[in-house]
């Protein structure tokens, strides 16, 4: 009953409240509503649980793509990580992440740029971490080719994403919502084919697991997580 109520409230929030807030003005919405929405939706317990499966595996010199509000920072293994460079074009999310960065014992550098054009050297990173961001990056193919470029040969790409569902009805909903949900959510597309995107870049999947996150709304809840290598 509690779960049903949560899902119902989430759907009302996403499809009724957000469009109303957006009517207050696009700029206001993108500056004030979207960053808080991302920090809230990405920070739910099931999402945090997913992060713990992936982020502690990163070692050495690490780049985090779409670091957003910094929800992964607490999960890095500070004994195995040399530095983390967080890439994200959002000023507002960067401010939220900076506050989290102050509370952890990590060497963190924020790089306000886009994953499609990473200003870092070829073959220079041991690990790239990307969680819940391939949905929102406007050109994920280009971003993944950049990720491939900056990874050392044998370097690892640690991913956790929501994406295309194997179930027909959920898939339909994902395609229907892709017409308007991105404009409400900071660009989030529910229907991206995560594994196909990763393998098309030349990265080789070593591990991949999938499931619907418990308590999530289905069209946003089908998760893929694992490791790919260059």
Ligand X SMILES: C[S@@+](CC[C@H](N)C(=O)[O-])C[C@H]1O[C@@H](n2cnc3c(N)ncnc32)[C@H](O)[C@@H]1O
Asked if 133 touches ligand X (CB under 6 A), the answer is yes
One residue of 37, 42, 84, 213 binding ligand X per CB under 6 A? 42
Closer to ligand X by CB, 169 or 209: give it: 209
Shortest separation between residue 168's beta carbon and ligand X, angstroms: 25
CA angle 20, 26, 32 (to 5 degrees): 80
One residue of 38, 108, 184, 198 binding ligand X per CB under 6 A? 38
| CA pair distance 148, 156, nearest whole angstrom | 9
| CA pair distance 204, 88, nearest whole angstrom | 25
For 140: left if phi > 0, alpha if psi spans -120 to 50, otherwise beta; the answer is alpha
Overall size of the chain counted in residues: 230
Closer to ligand X by CB, 118 or 173: give it: 118
Q: Mapping DSSP to helix (H, G, I), strand (E, B) and coil, where does residue 8 land? A: helix
CB 158 within 8 A of CB 75: no
Count residues near ligand X (CB under 6 A).
24
- In the structure encoding, which two tokens stand for residue 124, read together? 């220079």
Closer to ligand X by CB, 71 or 128: give it: 71
| CA pair distance 55, 44, nearest whole angstrom | 16
Asked if 134 touches ligand X (CB under 6 A), the answer is no
> Residue 12 burial (CB < 10 Å; 0-12/13-18/19+)?
exposed
Kind and range of the H or E run holding 86: strand 81-87
Part of the chain binding ligand X (CB under 6 A), chosen from 4-12, 55-63, 182-190, 222-230 = 182-190
Asked if 131 touches ligand X (CB under 6 A), the answer is yes
Radius of gyration in angstroms for the set of CA atoms belonging to the chain, rounded to a whole number: 17
Closer to ligand X by CB, 102 or 169: give it: 102
One residue of 19, 138, 202, 214 binding ligand X per CB under 6 A? 138
Asked if 66 touches ligand X (CB under 6 A), the answer is yes
One residue of 18, 58, 61, 136 binding ligand X per CB under 6 A? 136
Asked if 13 touches ligand X (CB under 6 A), the answer is no
In the region spanning residues 72 to 101, those forming contacts with ligand X, defined by CB under 6 A, are 72, 87-90, 93
Sites of contact with ligand X (CB under 6 A): 38, 42, 65-66, 68, 71-72, 87-90, 93, 114-116, 131-133, 136-138, 186-188
């Amino acid at each position: 009953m509690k779960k049903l109520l949560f899902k119902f409230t989430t759907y009302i929030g996403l499809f009724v409240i957000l469009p109303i807030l957006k009517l207050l003005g696009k700029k206001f919405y993108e500056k004030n509503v979207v960053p808080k929405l991302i920090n809230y939706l990405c920070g739910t317990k099931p999402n945090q649980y997913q992060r713990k499966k992936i982020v502690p595996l990163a070692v050495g010199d690490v780049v985090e793509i779409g670091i957003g509000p910094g929800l992964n920072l607490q999960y890095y293994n500070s004994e195995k990580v040399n530095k983390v460079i967080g890439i994200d074009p959002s000023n507002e999310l960067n401010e939220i992440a900076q506050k989290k960065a102050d509370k952890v014992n990590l060497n963190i550098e924020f790089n306000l740029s886009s994953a499609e054009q990473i200003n870092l050297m070829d073959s220079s990173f041991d690990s790239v971490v990307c969680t819940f961001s391939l949905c929102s990056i406007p050109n994920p193919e280009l971003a993944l080719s950049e990720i491939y470029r900056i990874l050392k040969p044998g370097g690892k790409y640690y991913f956790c994403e929501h994406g295309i569902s194997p179930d027909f009805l959920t898939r339909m909903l994902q395609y229907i919502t892709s017409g308007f949900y991105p404009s409400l959510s900071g660009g989030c597309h529910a229907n991206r084919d995560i594994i196909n995107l990763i393998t098309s870049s030349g990265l080789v999947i070593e591990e991949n697991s999938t499931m619907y996150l418990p308590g999530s709304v289905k069209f946003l809840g089908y998760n893929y997580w694992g490791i790919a290598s260059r």
